[in-house]
Structure 1
Amino acid sequence: MPQTRALSLAVLAMIVIVVASNYLVQFPVTSGALGEFLTWGAISYPVSFLVTDLINRFFGPEKARRVVYAGFATGVAVSVAFSFLELTTLRIAIASGAAFLAAQLLDVTIFNRLRTQAWWQAPFIAGAIASAVDTGIFFSVAFAGTDVPWTTLALGDFAVKLVMALVMLAPFRLALWRAHGTQFAK
Structure 2
Amino acid sequence: MKFKTLFFPALAMGAIVLLSNILVQFTINDWLTWGAFSYPVAYLVTDVCNRILGPSAARRIVLVGFVVGLASSTVLASLQITLASGSAFLVSQLLDVSVFNRLRQRSWWQAPFIGSCLASVIDTAIFFKIAFANSELNWLSLAAGDLSVKLIMAALLLPAYRAVIRKSGLLPAPKSA
2:101 match: 112
The percentage of aligned residue pairs carrying the same residue is 49
1:17 match: 16
- Residues 100-139 of structure 1 aligned to structure 2 (within 5 Å): 100-139=89-128
Question: How far, CA to CA, are the matches of 1:69 and 1:59 in structure 2?
Answer: 15
Question: How far, CA to CA, are the matches of 1:4 and 1:16 in structure 2?
Answer: 17
Cα shift at 1:183: 6.5
1:42-100 deviation line (CA, Å, top 9, x unaligned): 11000000000000000100000000000000101111122xxxxx2110110000000
Alignment root-mean-square deviation, CA: 1.6
Cα shift at 1:145: 2.3
The one of 64, 67, 70 aligned to 1:73: 67
Q: Is the 8 A contact 1:136 1:154 kept in 2?
A: yes
Q: Secondary structure at the match of 2:32?
A: coil
Question: How far, CA to CA, are the matches of 1:175 and 1:17 in structure 2?
Answer: 17
Structure 1: stretches of 5+ with no match in the other structure: 30-34, 83-87
The one of 13, 36, 40 aligned to 2:30: 36
1:59 match: 53
> Does 4-13 or 170-179 show the bigger shift?
4-13
2:42 match: 48
2:150 match: 161
Q: TM-score, normalized by length of structure 2?
A: 0.93
Q: Is the 8 A contact 1:144 1:150 kept in 2?
A: no
1:146 match: 135
Q: Secondary structure at the match of 2:137?
A: coil
Aligned length: 173
Closer, same or farther: CA 3–117 of 1 in aligned 2, 3 Å: farther
Residue 170, structure 1, aligned to residue 159, structure 2: yes
Q: Secondary structure at the match of 1:119?
A: coil
Structure 2: stretches of 5+ with no match in the other structure: none
Question: How far, CA to CA, are the matches of 1:163 and 1:6 in structure 2?
Answer: 30
Select the structure with the greater relative contact order (CA < 8 A; seq sep ≥ 6): 2
The one of 81, 93, 97 aligned to 1:92: 81
